[in-house]
Amino acid sequence: MKANTRTKDTLEQMKSHLAKYDIITFDVFDTLITRCVLKPTDLFTVVEARAKQKGIVNHAFARDRQQAEHVAYAQYGETASFLQIYQVLQDSFSYSHSQCDALRELELQTELQLITPRRSVRELFYQLIQAGKRIILCSDMYLSSTQIQQLLVQCGYPEDLDIWVSCEKSGTKSSGVLWDKLFASLPEGQTTIHIGDNPDGDYRKLRQMGRDAILIDSGMALFQNSPLYGYLSKYIVDEIGSSLVLGYLINKALFNSPFSDIHTEADVVSVWGGAAFSCFMDFLVKNRDDSQLLFVTREGYLLKPMYERYCRQLGIQPQSSTVFYASRAATVSATITSPNDILTAMMSPKYRGTAGNFAKSRFNFDLSANPELCSMPVSLPEQKREVYENLKPYFPDMICNGKQQQEAYQVYTQSVRQDGKCLTVVDVGYNGTIQYALSKILGEKVNGLYLFLNDGALPAKNGCNCAGLANPRDGQHPIYDNLLFLEAVMQAPYGQLQKMELADGLPKPVFNADRSVSKEIPEIQEAFCTFVEWIAQWQCDTGDALHLSFELAEAIWICLLHFSCLPKSVLDSMWLADDFCGNPIWRYDVEKAKWQNGNGTATPLAFTLTRQGEKLGLKYAVKNSIKKHIPYFAYDFASRIWQKYFLQHNTYNKTQKQ
């Protein structure tokens, strides 16, 4: 018998459909409430990790707990209770009485911490109560009605619910016994309908009895029927970190509602970037030392408080740190002490624009006294020799300007340095330009920690240590391949740093006038931090048992973008200025799925994931081979060719059809 699934209905349509019934019964788990884990038994794995942290057990509780449940069902029948399961654990699995007491309480506590409401179903629930409907809850469950009531209250349901649970009524929904007892207790002539997610106990059994029922999809069922499943299913593994991240994405965020018109936007945004930033925070903590972290602007505006909130939830002391005013433009211009420095600064990164804007953005030098040169269009590094010759008359002034900025940076760094500590730059990446320049400015080795770090990163030339969570040239990196999104959501409410200067002997950061940050950006950043704190709390509770997968985080990032799972208001807030490379404002066109700027340049969303079971396409195997073998200085050029002739015309068109 095919189930009557109404999950394509809107909330109002469901409410209208239920209006003709006197009594509405609801299933509990995965209908009214759900857990932020992939599967119910993952709860036991979390309990085991927490129990080991607390010294309650040192063996495989999760395995024993599942086996004890099976034994209890064989011994007491399908209506075995929570207490009976733990009695079996004590009698047959060599757990002491005190261990069972502690584990039982810890399991209930973990249930309370992982449980979350299906918010739109809860809204429907209250609308039905206001309409005068009688509500009864029916669950095949080992927990008692009192324990289930605790979970429901935690999720915002009322305290005086009528709960029929199999372990107390000596009958299950799936056998029909619980339904027989329930219907026998109801007044004659009253119409009933049941809502639940289990095809057997919540639908088929009732239809066989001639009763009305509606089958709604659980979060997992919705996920399995979505296009995301083919790309994310390979991360469904027996590991706490993946279970929590995907459980949050599926059950709390993207598929929390079974109704077609309800979307949980804040929670979707939270896990979209929060998963990746959780990995980065974990990376920073695992690389702790006695140095002072320099969270460089503008990314440091988000990363420093995020790091401190993460450490606080983790229960550890944050490494000494500061938000450090630094940018490529400011630090590179402060290294200009010779003609060779000027030539080096022309080489990387690429630049398209006027000579005047190039001199201003790259060297903080004003060419307006020479209007003809100032307006001359340049393309670098292709025209490096021509630009070099045109700038040559200004070298003495540019070098003097650079030395003044270098002195300002030396004074500034000394003013923020704590107890003479060694310094570690913290940044998103990618070539370590700021770390490299700061090392030259200070005449000392400066360390660096990055989200992404390219092969051949610049700091190595100065003998500086640097490490990245991911290497963009080693395989596919969906976030790195779409960096404009990352940089757009990490903006700060002040302009781009142009230079550091001295005013009355004191260092003063000078910003440009660009303060155009969307009002949605602070909300997006707060959503990221909320998820990072949530992960940190579970890391604190489960210790080394929780491992985070950056590959999973990247897959979530790009899948939510590619399959239009993010709110349009978030995507409309994406814009970014890039004066250092000569680009005007980049804006994301939601309808075309492209970044575009005033120069007429368009960059499509790069979606290069493969579905579960698919082999990497030939063109991407070729791409990765090229990336591993071409010289680093040629990578930007090769990347442009790839995007123009392969990515834009092949991948984008193909994925649009999927």
Q: What is the pLDDT of residues 547-574, one digit of tens each?
A: 999 999 999 999 999 999 999 889 988 8
90 HSE (CA, 13 A, CB side) = 15
* For the chain, domain boundaries: 11-218, 615-658
* Integer Cα distance of 520 and 527 in angstroms: 11
* CATH T-level assignment (fold) for domain 11-218: Rossmann fold (3.40.50)
User: Tens of pLDDT along 176-186?
Assistant: 999 999 999 99
For residue 364, what are its two tokens?
A: 């903080």
How much is the CA Rg of the chain, to the nearest whole Å?
Answer: 30
Q: Is 29 exposed, middle or buried (0-12, 13-18, 19+ CB in 10 A)?
A: buried
* Integer Cα distance of 242 and 640 in angstroms: 35
Q: For 12, phi and psi rounded to 5 degrees?
A: -65, -35
* 616 confidence band (pLDDT: 50, 70, 90): very low
* Integer Cα distance of 520 and 413 in angstroms: 33
Better pLDDT: 314 or 381 = 314
H helices then E strands: how many in the chain?
29, 20
Q: Is the pLDDT of residue 623 over 60?
A: no
Mean of the per-residue pLDDT values of the chain: 89
- Give mean pLDDT, residues 353-376: 87
- Give mean pLDDT, residues 596-609: 83
Q: Facing residues of 597 across strands? A: 586
CB 327 within 8 A of CB 299: no
Max CA separation in the chain (angstroms): 100
Q: What percent of the chain has pLDDT over 90?
A: 69
* 634 confidence band (pLDDT: 50, 70, 90): low
pTM for this one? 0.88
Better pLDDT: 542 or 584 = 542
Q: What is the DSSP string of 64-82?
A: HHHHHHHHHHHHH-TT--H
DSSP 55: T
Q: Is the pLDDT of residue 339 over 60?
A: yes
* Integer Cα distance of 456 and 643 in angstroms: 22
- Sign of the dihedral through C-alpha 376, 379, 380, 382: negative
Q: What is the DSSP string of 519-564?
A: THHHHHHHHHHHHHHHHHHHHHHHGGG----HHHHHHHHHHHHHTT
Q: Is the pLDDT of residue 55 over 50?
A: yes
| The pLDDT value given to residue 264 | 67
